[in-house]
Amino acid sequence: MTRIESGGVCFPKGFMAAGVKAGIKASGNLDLALLYSKEPAMCFAAFTKNQVQAAPVLYDKGILFNQNIVSAVIVNSGNANACTGCQGYIDAATMAELVEKRLNLGKFSVLVSSTGVIGEPLPMGKIAAAIPDIVNCLKDDGSELFAKAICTTDTILKTGCVSVQTSAGEVRFGGSCKGSGMIHPNMATMLAYVTTDLMLPKSFSTEFKTMVNESFNSITVDGDMSTNDTCVLMANGQSGIFLNDLSNEEQAKVCEALFDLMKYLALQIVRDGEGATKKIEIEVCGARRKAEAIQVAKSIAASSLVKCAFFGEDPNWGRIVSSAGASGIAFTPAKISLYFEDVQVVKEGMPVKAVKEKLSEIVKRKEYKISLDLSLGEAKASVFTCDLSYDYIKINAEYTT
Residue 37 phi, psi dihedral angles, 5° rounding: -105, 125
DSSP reduced 3-state for 163: strand
Find the binding residues for a second copy in span 162-181 (CB under 8 A): 181
* Nearer CB in complex with a second copy: 28/328: 328
The 263-302 contact track toward a second copy, x by CB under 8 A, reads ------------------------------------x---
Whole-angstrom Cα distance, residue 283 to residue 277? Answer: 20
Compute the distance between CA of residue 16 and CA of residue 37 in angstroms, rounded to an integer: 6
Helix ranges restricted to H, 225-289: 248-271
Does 218 bind a second copy (CB under 8 A)? Our answer is no
Count of residues that interact with a second copy, criterion CB under 8 A: 66
CB atoms within 10 A of CB 248: 7
Any residues with CB less than 8 A from the CB of 192 and at least 6 apart, and which?
175, 176, 177, 178, 216, 230, 231, 232, 262, 265, 266
Q: Does the footprint of a second copy cover residue 124 (CB under 8 A)?
A: no
Among 350, 366, 367, 378, binds a second copy (CB under 8 A): 350
Catalytic residue at 385?
no
Among 50, 94, 251, 344, binds a second copy (CB under 8 A): 50
Stretch that binds a second copy, among 1-9, 131-139, 232-240, 343-351 (CB under 8 A): 343-351
CA distance 205 to 224: 22
Give 94: exposed, middle or buried? Use CB within 10 Å, 0-12, 13-18, 19+.
middle
In sequence order, which residues have a C-beta less than 8 Å from that of residue 348 and are 6 or more positions away?
A: 334, 335, 336, 337
Residue 344 interacts with a second copy (CB under 8 A): yes or no: no
Chain positions 64 to 103 lying near a second copy, rule: CB under 8 A, are 80, 82-85
Q: Does 348 bind a second copy (CB under 8 A)?
A: yes
Contact call for residue 150 and a second copy (CB under 8 A): no
Considering only 322, 368, 369, 377, the residue that binds a second copy (CB under 8 A) is: 322
Q: Does 349 bind a second copy (CB under 8 A)?
A: yes
Of the listed pieces 26-34, 125-133, 207-215, 329-337, which binds a second copy according to CB under 8 A?
Answer: 329-337
Q: Is residue 129 a contact point for a second copy (CB under 8 A)? A: no
Q: What's the Cα-to-Cα distance from 310 to each of 64, 95, 133, rounded to whole Å?
A: 41, 43, 46
Q: How many CB atoms lie within 10 A of CB 341?
A: 15
Active-site residue, selected from the candidate residues 115, 189, 196, 230: 189
Q: How far is the CB of 16 from a second copy (least distance, A)?
A: 33
- Indicate whether 385 belongs to the interface with a second copy (CB under 8 A): no
The answer to whether 142 and 193 are in contact (CB under 8 A) is no
Please say whether the beta carbons of 43 and 233 come within 8 A.
Answer: yes
Residue 312 interacting with a second copy (CB under 8 A): yes
Catalytic annotation, residues: 189
Contact residues for a second copy (CB under 8 A)? 49-53, 80, 82-85, 117-119, 181, 183-186, 223-227, 299, 303-305, 308-309, 311-312, 314-319, 321-327, 329-331, 333-334, 346, 348-351, 388-390, 392-394, 396-401
